[in-house]
Amino acid sequence: MKKVVKILGVVLVLLTMMLAFSYASSFRSTPVVQRERIRVIERDRLMLQNSLQFSQEFRNLIRERDRIQAQIQLLLRSGKVNSDELQKYLTQLEDIENKLFAEFKKDLINNLSNALKLKEEQRQKVAEILNKYMDDIRNLRIELRNKNLEMRALGINEQSKQREIKDKIQKLRNEIREKRTAMLNELKQVLDQNQFRILTRIMWRYNIKIKVF
């Protein structure tokens, strides 16, 4: 009797495994669907590569910004932070980032118009929305960056100051999130589904280089 029960138990386990495998298989993409997804991803990648060309001036500014940021990181790791030296680097960083932002904005609308194939009415509305939000988001990001650096420069005994800066950092993050969400919602009303999907990839690519969205 025990042997029969064991055999029945093994059979039930095998049936359960087979059913689970069959259920999962029904949700797997077919080779045709997978190929189509790869084709769309590759098409979008090539489109972005061809339509979003970063100028040499932009690339040079990126390298200079990265060099200054590396100097700031070394300073923060050195122990006691010299506030005058830190401020000097921050001033240099702000100057570089102003130049980066100006270079970025110069051809932004043309790049987006080409990449998204915008109609003239869409082009005007997209430009209005970006001009409405981008400067504010950028200024908030700079303030957030500076507060994070200020936090790292504090000594371990400055707990009250740390709490104050932490609260400010959280507030800045919330403001950035709210403005970015509002901007995307407005853009979504202007663009069709495919244009909006491509726009989010463009924003992601730009944000790798320069945090502006």
Token output for 120 = 């003239």
pTM score, whole prediction: 0.67
Q: Is the dihedral of CA 87, 209, 126, 186 positive or negative?
A: negative
pLDDT at site 111: 84
Give the pLDDT band of residue 185 (cuts 50, 70, 90).
Answer: very high
Q: What is the 3-state secondary structure of the chain?
A: CHHHHHHHHHHHHHHHHHHHHHHHHCCCCCHHHHHHHHHHHHHHHHHHHHHCCCCHHHHHHHHHHHHHHHHHHHHHHCCCCCHHHHHHHHHHHHHHHHHHHHHHHHCHHHHHHHHHCCCHHHHHHHHHHHHHHHHHHHHHHHHHHHHHHHHHHCCCCCHHHHHHHHHHHHHHHHHHHHHHHHHHHHHHHHCCHHHHHHHHHHHHHHHHHCCCC
pLDDT for 1 beyond 80 = no
pLDDT at 136 (0 to 100): 92
Task: Please provide residue 119's backbone torsions phi and psi, each rounded to the nearest 5 degrees.
Answer: -75, 165
Q: What are the structural domain ranges in the chain?
A: 1-50, 52-209
pLDDT digits (tens, 9 = 90+) for 20-55: 444 444 444 555 555 555 554 444 544 454 555 677
CB 177 within 8 A of CB 184: no
Task: Choose between 182 and 35: higher pLDDT.
Answer: 182
Report for 17-21, 41-45, 109-113: range of highest mean pLDDT: 109-113
Q: How far is CA 96 from CA 23, 25, 38, 63, in A?
A: 56, 53, 38, 10
Give the separation between CA 196 and CA 187, rounded to whole angstroms: 8
